[in-house]
Structure 1
């Protein structure tokens, strides 16, 4: 199929970045966009993210060959139900970008039953602390997992066609059952947000009587609780549309806390050592350090002294290289060195950075 009309509902970070990726490989496609915010619609037009915009969701739907719902989960389901009552093109391909899949898939299968509609669930596993159309990035999904969950409405050629339409995202497409997707993400995404929020709740209460808690919190505590700053409304929706899996993970975690508590009470030196060493081994065997999920980038770690202009010197060496993130890892210790962590989007930039820093400075560079 040559020219297509793609309708992206939701022109924020995810929807806008998807539209840019489609345009990169398919400049002949017409990209239509929906967003409630006039500001986002204007930015999307000015940046060339879309060709036309509307604040009326139903307005562009009949023109579309492909409809991408890049809106919150509850709104995605509401739009699916609305689309079922509109006059759409025969065999229109509809997909979404929600973080949970089973409820969306069930809604689509029920709403489009006996209609000439193809539907496949999607979950692009990439993100940023930025939001809105102004944050849209054509490289946001580069090497990130883009999960596709087939449905009863997914024909033999649907997955292949959708991957071709999204080829400009340069993502890693993975096909998985919707229920299994929700089970897996409950462990590696949804439950960790519960833990991070709980740690912050606990620390906040503890700091009322132990005020230095707020001052000493750094290092591991900071890394474990970073995601507690995520948008509350989004995570409320995610947990409530994957409640069984998340509740099961919570119960499992309670048992694991009881296990280590019993070892501490019993002063079981070997048992405690085994507990931590086993966790270390599991982490080293996981693909955490490979580009894949949300906020998973190519990192280098530079041992730097606490001296003026050290970071500026390193950044000057990396001029022209696109950085994802930069931070100092400290552990509240009296030490002459800190760890400068620099994140890149691809292995090529990571390797170049390691080489140039080691060639021009005395600092040790490691890749984990």
Structure 2
């Protein structure tokens, strides 16, 4: 890739990880960074994520060939306004990373109208419960969907330019309409976060009268509510920037719950069985088992004895295999298959680890 200047505004988890991924494929590019927090600016410089940093957003924008706004949704819109007033390079390429797209794309079309600016809406569908530049990870976007939502400002070749720039992320690039993006993500991303948080709040309230509910919360509850730990400010912005689609999903879910309640009240054993059977069948048919980002994880559950050194024994067997996470399930084993849970990003790593453990030990190993 020819020598370019890339300007990343926002050096949090997403922006800093983008910088690392871009550097991996294009080490000779100049990457400039903006962040209000001095701590993130220092980390980004010290780890070589960026070549220069600033706390004045407007200062680097005029010299950039590509500008990436890795900012919250509302802030992204205000920074688009700032860019529209600056003397930017001719045909500068501007993109964002917002989790909703229609509002941002419409705003960009408005502010850049009749300007020599190429805008492409962007949404890398990956993340972590960690935040800030300190949590940056060049592998964060591997196998994740990276969605582009074209606008009237998306000139010919713009998306191809972005794909080349972001090739080091090793993502799965896809283009869709901004409105359709928001409808789809309301179902598979936004509503699940809302549901997870509601489930946690319900359990907490229930636990006031039944304290054992919190202690007995096992694998199913844990897996369903993990995303309730996400950053509140980000999800407030997401809900308020995509309200119609999300409200429609809530109404639809209420109707489905009412149908289940009616089936239980009617003591309809056949209908209840069909409900669970269809749910299992449909989930097995979904593409969620294919590699598509951080949430497409591969787990091993290992039934290990409670003795000193057993975890170290397992980890020594897996030297050279990339692990995403290690979890020790101590309290409740109702619906998990082992006390030691290992998580991998690639199915090949999971398979290799299972083979090694089964060959070297007598422990029961279950892949999920």
Provide TM-score, normalisation by structure 2: 0.95
Instruction: Give the 5 Å matches for 1:167-206.
Output: 167-206=167-206
**Contact 1:317–1:356 at 8 Å: present in 2 too?**
yes
Matched, 1:121 2:109: no
Cα 1:67/1:337, change in 2 over 3 Å = closer
Matched, 1:4 2:4: yes
Mapped partners of 2:39, 2:336: distance in 1: 48
Once the 2 structures are TM-superposed, how far is the Cα of residue 307 of structure 1 from its aligned partner?
A: 4.4
Cα 1:65/1:337, change in 2 over 3 Å = closer
Once the 2 structures are TM-superposed, how far is the Cα of residue 329 of structure 1 from its aligned partner?
A: 5.0
Mapped partners of 2:312, 2:236: distance in 1: 41
Over 6 Å off, 4+ runs: 334-337
Deviations 1:147-169 (A, max 9, x none): 11111111221111100011111
Where structure 2 has 5 or more consecutive residues not aligned to the other structure, the ranges are none
Mapped partners of 1:336, 1:107: distance in 2: 47
> In the alignment, which residue of structure 2 is the partner of 1:34?
34
Once the 2 structures are TM-superposed, how far is the Cα of residue 316 of structure 1 from its aligned partner?
A: 1.6
**Contact 1:33–1:53 at 8 Å: present in 2 too?**
yes
Once the 2 structures are TM-superposed, how far is the Cα of residue 215 of structure 1 from its aligned partner?
A: 1.7
> In the alignment, which residue of structure 2 is the partner of 1:153?
153
Mapped partners of 1:334, 1:51: distance in 2: 51
Secondary structure at the aligned position of 1:323 is classed as coil
> In the alignment, which residue of structure 1 is the partner of 2:299?
299
Mapped partners of 1:175, 1:30: distance in 2: 27
Mapped partners of 1:122, 1:299: distance in 2: 30
Q: Which range is displaced more, 177-186 or 326-335? A: 326-335
Matched, 1:98 2:106: no
Deviations 1:151-210 (A, max 9, x none): 111122111110001111111111111111111111111101111111111111112222
**Contact 2:218–2:333 at 8 Å: present in 1 too?**
no
Deviations 1:266-290 (A, max 9, x none): 0000000000110001111112222
> In the alignment, which residue of structure 2 is the partner of 1:235?
235
Once the 2 structures are TM-superposed, how far is the Cα of residue 325 of structure 1 from its aligned partner?
A: 1.1
Mapped partners of 1:315, 1:286: distance in 2: 32
Matched, 1:313 2:313: yes
Matched, 1:81 2:85: no
> In the alignment, which residue of structure 2 is the partner of 1:282?
282
Q: Which range is displaced more, 357-366 or 326-335? A: 326-335
Deviations 1:296-347 (A, max 9, x none): 2233333434444332221121123331112245783589962533222333
Once the 2 structures are TM-superposed, how far is the Cα of residue 223 of structure 1 from its aligned partner?
A: 1.4
Secondary structure at the aligned position of 1:338 is classed as coil
Secondary structure at the aligned position of 1:32 is classed as strand
**Contact 1:62–1:89 at 8 Å: present in 2 too?**
yes
- Say what the alpha-carbon RMSD is for the aligned residues: 1.9
Instruction: Give the 5 Å matches for 1:255-270.
Output: 255-270=255-270
Once the 2 structures are TM-superposed, how far is the Cα of residue 359 of structure 1 from its aligned partner?
A: 1.6
> In the alignment, which residue of structure 1 is the partner of 2:211?
211
Where structure 1 has 5 or more consecutive residues not aligned to the other structure, the ranges are none
**Contact 2:301–2:336 at 8 Å: present in 1 too?**
no
Mapped partners of 2:334, 2:15: distance in 1: 46
> In the alignment, which residue of structure 2 is the partner of 1:163?
163
Mapped partners of 2:309, 2:120: distance in 1: 51
> In the alignment, which residue of structure 1 is the partner of 2:350?
350
